[in-house]
Chains A and B, each alone.
Chain A
Amino acid sequence: MNEDRQKILETKHLKKYFSIKDALGKQTGVVKAVDDVSLTLHKGETYGLVGESGCGKSTLGRSILRLFPITEGEVWLEGNDISNLSPGQLRPYRKKMQMIFQDPYTSLNPRKTVGETLEEVLKIHGEKNRTVREEKCQEALRTVGLRPEHYNRFPHEFSGGQRQRVGIARAILVNPSFIVCDEPVSALDVSIQAQIMNLLDALQEEKQLTYLFVSHNMSVINYIADRVGVMYLGHLVEEADTEELFSNPCHPYTQALLSAVLQIGAVRKERIELTGELPSPLHPPAGCVFHTRCPYAEQKCKEKPVMPRELSPGHFVACSLYGS
């Protein structure tokens, strides 16, 4: 079934390394923020990316958008390899992929009105007619549930939820097919969070959008995503359809992550307490990256890295418990 659906985005063995330099510019270390990640997004799908802070989920989102050069691997957007294009060559593709940021307070220019912020996007993409620009912006504002008079206001006049709506309007303005949502609801109160999630849902339905939804909040991911990838220290350790992942988590890290989620009124599950903390990405452990905190770690986990295996159709796990 998956084969007939149009592939919007594909990454193949994507790697993003940051080099650490000392004061003289000599390289002293490498942070492997994203290490060998392959994923595929189909049209109209929401792919949820979860993991704790520092696991590389935001870096992955930004690498896909080519916000910085990638170290190795390929990114394919609608059948075109965009991994090595120059900024000029990339411009037509920028219209296809947009981003919604986490913090609506810092992602809008405080000295520009909402209208100016939105029109700038159209100017960059070559819309020369002012009336057309304004019309399009007004329409985007209407789509996200803001009123026409908001066009001439400054960001400080809005509440957090309204600012996030402006951020969404900016993203949908150029009719993209793919949007990276980087923690779009984490900075909002629960009641506002629900409004924004409903809006994202409705927009997806209306415009057949594809989302890469980055979040650390498992219940938000469970609600919004169709497929989920779990990241740990730059690696994708498990990937499955949402229902499968939440009902049958296989990787020990996913199991621990799910058991740590607090739920109102839920039956208390046996909590798997992870000892220790996330290792530094400057010195990731050899072998399986999770072995330092894994309750089932054996000698072989420390020696060689594990490759993802398909356990059941669409359910991939990188763990030696399931054969290597």
Chain B
Amino acid sequence: MQQEIVLHVKNLSTTFRTDQGSLKAVDGVDFIVKKGEILGIVGESGCGKSVTVQSIMRLYDEKKTVSYQGEIFFENKDLLTLPYKDMKRIRGEKISMIFQDALSALNPLMKIGDQITEAIHIHTKADRKTAIAQGIEMLRQVGIPAPEKRFYQYPFELSGGMRQRVMIAIALVCRPQLLIADEPTTALDVTIQAQILELMKRLNQELNMGIMLITHDLAVVSETCRRVLVMYLGQVVEEGTAETIFNHPGHPYTKSLLESIPMIGGERGQKLRTIQGTVPLLNQIPAGCRFAPRCLKAGERCRREMPQLAPFKNEHCVRCWYPNESDGS
């Protein structure tokens, strides 16, 4: 059975105009998000994962700094051509977003309850009473104990995990079809991280929405997502199911990234495998394959020609001239 497609991003590029010339932070990204699935996007800092999702929400200043190419289809409309007024109605109602640092994303001068009902008042015609009831119900749903009391408290009175739950409640109160979570657990402790990821998985099932989970932590993705995109320097370098990517990575970048993580129960005292060099700056993008200067397998062709994201095996695409013919399968 074909799952319904919520979001279809086609050949998206985001270019920033800066003093150093124009920088293409996202370069030709394609993907889809289906209803009821969690799609993971992973990569190191500066690989364009946050820019990709903020482009979907069109959060950048389009008059001065940024220009988009490509198409983003949501409900049969191209978000990139929508007038600003219509875009405003989609944000928070149909697509909402949660950010990494809940303390700075919440308004410190507003009570939790007012911040939740604000979204309801903007997007629906609900009266005050219904909005409050909905808000309290939402807080209960994200697992906040004594929601009637918390509703009237300020963000500083809550712990980090609770604030992140409030953020999720605000994002979900209008029942969006798509939730974008940008590093939702990075600022949290492991025990709290586990609670929040469980919550997101549960809500994903209950509300049947699409979730995009952006993170640099491969373990978080392996725990929560079914499909994964790996990004490097503004491009998708590998796409596939979490199982394939973590067990049989096709791209040398994914493979070395996985090898450089210390594992509990792994060989201690052994040298960790590393990736040589660092991620180049956006104004120093190498010709040919962008990973070639750091790749151990790179050959003459890699330095000359850019490979395309090509189907490798079932549901598994790799952007590499010489993908790993992996063990067994």
Contacts and interface: CB of A to CB of B under 8 A. Distances in A.
Interface of A: 52-53, 159, 161-162, 189-195, 197-198, 201, 216, 218-220, 222-224, 242-243, 246, 256-258, 260-266, 271, 273-274, 277-278
A162 B189 CA distance: 27
Interface in B96-123: none
A195 B161 CA distance: 31
Contacts of A194: 260-262, 272-275
A270 to B, nearest CB: 12
Interface stretch (B12-20, B21-29, B53-61, B215-223): B215-223
B218 A274 contact: no
A256 B192 CA distance: 11
A223 B264 CA distance: 7
Contacts of A193: 260
Contacts of B279: 189
Contacts, number: 112
13 contacts: A162-B278, A193-B260, A194-B274, A195-B274, A220-B262, A223-B266, A256-B191, A260-B193, A260-B194, A262-B223, A264-B263, A273-B194, A277-B192
Contact of B45 (A189, A201, A243, A258): A189
B262 A223 contact: yes
Given A261-B264, A263-B264, A277-B159, A191 B256 contact: yes
Contacts of B247: 265
Interface in B220-271: 220, 222-223, 246-247, 256-258, 260-266, 268, 271
A195 B256 CA distance: 12
A189 B194 CA distance: 21
Given A197-B262, A257-B191, A264 B246 contact: yes
B183 interface: no
A207 B222 CA distance: 39
Interface in B138-175: 159-162
B195 interface: yes
Interface residues of B, number: 42
A29 to B, nearest CB: 17
Closest 8 CB pairs of A and B: A223-B262, A262-B219, A194-B260, A52-B189, A191-B275, A194-B272, A189-B44, A260-B194
Given A256-B191, A262-B222, A190 B159 contact: no
B1 interface: no
Interface in B270-329: 271-275, 278-279
B82 interface: no
A260 B261 contact: no
B263 A219 contact: yes
B190 A198 contact: no
Given A191-B44, A191-B275, A222 B268 contact: yes
A216 B223 CA distance: 19
A262 B278 contact: no
A277 B161 contact: yes
Interface in B160-208: 160-162, 189-195, 197-198
A284 to B, nearest CB: 15
A263 B193 CA distance: 13
A161 B274 contact: no
B313 to A, nearest CB: 19
Contact of A190 (B193, B198, B260, B268): B260
B16 to A, nearest CB: 19
Nearest to B197: A262
A63 B17 CA distance: 48
A265 B261 CA distance: 12
Contacts of A223: 262-263, 266, 268, 272
Given A220-B262, A264-B246, A192 B194 contact: no
Given A264-B222, A265-B246, 14 more contacts: A162-B278, A189-B44, A190-B218, A190-B261, A191-B274, A194-B274, A218-B190, A222-B268, A223-B263, A246-B264, A262-B223, A263-B219, A265-B222, A274-B191
Contacts of A273: 194-195, 198
A264 B190 contact: no
A55 B43 CA distance: 30
Contact of A191 (B159, B219, B260): B260
A192 B262 CA distance: 12
B278 A192 contact: yes
Contacts of A190: 44, 216, 218, 257, 260-261
Contacts of A159: 278
Contacts of A197: 262, 272
A261 B193 CA distance: 9
A201 B274 CA distance: 14
B272 A264 contact: no
A17 B271 CA distance: 40
A189 B216 contact: yes
A39 B251 CA distance: 45
B219 to A, nearest CB: 4
A190 B258 CA distance: 9
Nearest to A50: B190
B228 to A, nearest CB: 11
A258 B194 CA distance: 11
A260 B273 CA distance: 25
Nearest to A161: B278
Nearest to B222: A264
A194 B273 CA distance: 7
Contact of A198 (B216, B223, B257, B271): B271
Contacts of A266: 263-265
A161 B279 CA distance: 11
